[in-house]
Amino acid sequence: MPAELPSTALPSRALRRFDDLPGPPGLPVVGNLLQIKPTRLHLQLEQWCRDYGPVYKLQLGPRQAVVFGDHALVQGMLRDRPDGFRRTARLQEIAVEMSLPTGVFSATGDDWRRQRRMVMHGFDPTHVRRYFPSLQVVAQRLARRWQRAAQSGQAIDLQADLMRYTVDTIAGLAFGAEVNTLESDHDVIQQHLDKIFPAISRRVLAPLPVWRWVKSAADRELERSLVEVNTAVNGFIAQARARLQAEPDRRAHPHNLLEAMITAADAPDSGITDRQVAGNVLTMLLAGEDTTANTIAWMIHLLWRHPQVLARAIDEVRRVCGPDEVPTLAMIEQLDFVEACAHETMRLKPVAPLMPQQALRDTVVGDVQITEGMIVFGLMRVDAVSDAHVPNAAGFDPERWLGAGGPSQAASSAKRISMPFGAGPRICPGRYLALLEMKMAMATLLQHFDIAEVSTPDGQPAVEHLSFTMTPLGLAMRLRERAHAAVAA
């Protein structure tokens, strides 16, 4: 008998099979595969959800896929991980081919459970708060970089600068490593990391693995970047091992996530290998860089397009943080409206707008029979931007996340439906750090600068570009220094 998801099963209705579902018509043999536009896949799937309903089918060559837009069904699938669903075998195949070590993001079964415990311990809010001074240092570097741009009238490549900020942050807090990409314009690790997610996305969705037969210039450049990134990862591990050897007490009280992982891996019968340690270092670099940086970029873009909301965020930051103090943890934790802006940004512009999974067993989702090995797509935004679930759903209204004396009814509804960090056992372990980074970046920007302009190449709202994560294309920002704001040297 197939397993049944308790929270989503509808026993009173007849079950539907794949062939019973509606969906866009395809071609013989390839099905819908040639219709897929990888950089717009999330928009295509959301449009088909409007055309065919909250559950529909796709035929992707030989692979059958079912797409779910109903948030309750998506949550049910996410809660059924890692036993009922896993990352797709195609993703694992591409990662292995690219020689990417396996971390908690792609691990399954018992391997995932061991790594998850280890990673969750490192990302405990208490530990993150202890290393807040590292975030202060990185934020001041960002302020100095933007100060130079403001003084010269130079346009800032918003996404690139924010990725430097997040790389420096994760390297310091998670690895105890001094990485300073913000004050260097040379060939930095961030430029190599930027090539990995887009390559994975292209190869996972490619109808044919052309790169296995003929390598393009981009393929060769990717190979060079993978060498550089793996060299950097091994360097972080070597530095951490050197610290542990020089200071044995660190094994009892690790100073960062990487030291905790190495200590756990070295324990007898740990089941954690050096390769898995490397996989989690790479996971933290990739996920910590890309997702948080893109969310901050989207937030700045949305604030610029909503001047009244921006004015309120500015007022909060300048009232709480003062004109020239380096923001403390206590200050950052008081930025409730800025945090609401972050949540509202993630509702409208989730950097992971779709979640592809593969069924590990026969199961039932809603009234649909899912067979072992079938691909399922969970659409993370459909209900979050629907007026049926969220009032004024298309509006950028951070106020909905606030309420006198506690969360408002609108906030409670939005929290149930919006899932920017996923849901269930595999919810993002770095979500507290991500919110802290977002608030610190916004405090740095609004404390020291006035935004003169946030622009796109065509003057329209930023294009949503999917390259594993959802990126705003071509955002440029111009700043003016505030007269009474000083940036620490």
Instruction: Please indicate, yes or no, if residue 361 is contained in any of the structural domains.
Output: yes
Round to whole Å and give the CA distance between 232 and 17: 48
Residue 287 is predicted with a pLDDT of 75
Residue 267 is predicted with a pLDDT of 81
Instruction: Please indicate, yes or no, if residue 487 is contained in any of the structural domains.
Output: no
Residue 376 is predicted with a pLDDT of 96
Residues 314/446, Cβ–Cβ less than 8 Å: yes
Residue 332 is predicted with a pLDDT of 95
Residues 434/292, Cβ–Cβ less than 8 Å: yes
Span 368-420, pLDDT tens digits: 999 999 999 999 999 999 999 998 999 999 999 986 544 455 556 677 788 88
Residue 93 is predicted with a pLDDT of 87
Round to whole Å and give the CA distance between 132 and 172: 10
CA-CA-CA-CA torsion sign (24, 29, 35, 41): positive
Instruction: Please indicate, yes or no, if residue 488 is contained in any of the structural domains.
Output: no
* CATH number of the domain encompassing residue 163: 1.10.630.10
Strands (DSSP E) contained in 277-412 are: 354-359, 363-365, 368-370, 375-379
Strands (DSSP E) contained in 120-236 are: 156-157
For the record, the structure tokens of 307 come out as 């001047």
Instruction: Please indicate, yes or no, if residue 267 is contained in any of the structural domains.
Output: yes
Return the ∠ at Cα 299 (arms to 298 and 305), rounded to 5°: 90
Residues of the chain with pLDDT under 70: 1-13, 104, 118, 121-122, 185-187, 403-413, 484-489
pTM of the model: 0.90
Instruction: Please indicate, yes or no, if residue 274 is contained in any of the structural domains.
Output: yes
Q: Across-strand partners of 358? A: 86, 375
Instruction: Please indicate, yes or no, if residue 181 is contained in any of the structural domains.
Output: yes
**Boundaries of domain holding 63:** 3-481
Pick from 36, 13, 15: which is nearest to 356 by CA? 36
Residue 10 is predicted with a pLDDT of 43
Round to whole Å and give the CA distance between 157 and 456: 11
Pick from 74, 29, 80, 16: which is nearest to 49 by CA? 74
Span 242-288, pLDDT tens digits: 999 999 898 888 877 788 778 878 888 777 778 888 888 888 777 77
Instruction: Please indicate, yes or no, if residue 486 is contained in any of the structural domains.
Output: no
Instruction: Please indicate, yes or no, if residue 409 is contained in any of the structural domains.
Output: yes
Domain count across the chain: 1
Round to whole Å and give the CA distance between 92 and 97: 8
Residue 478 is predicted with a pLDDT of 97
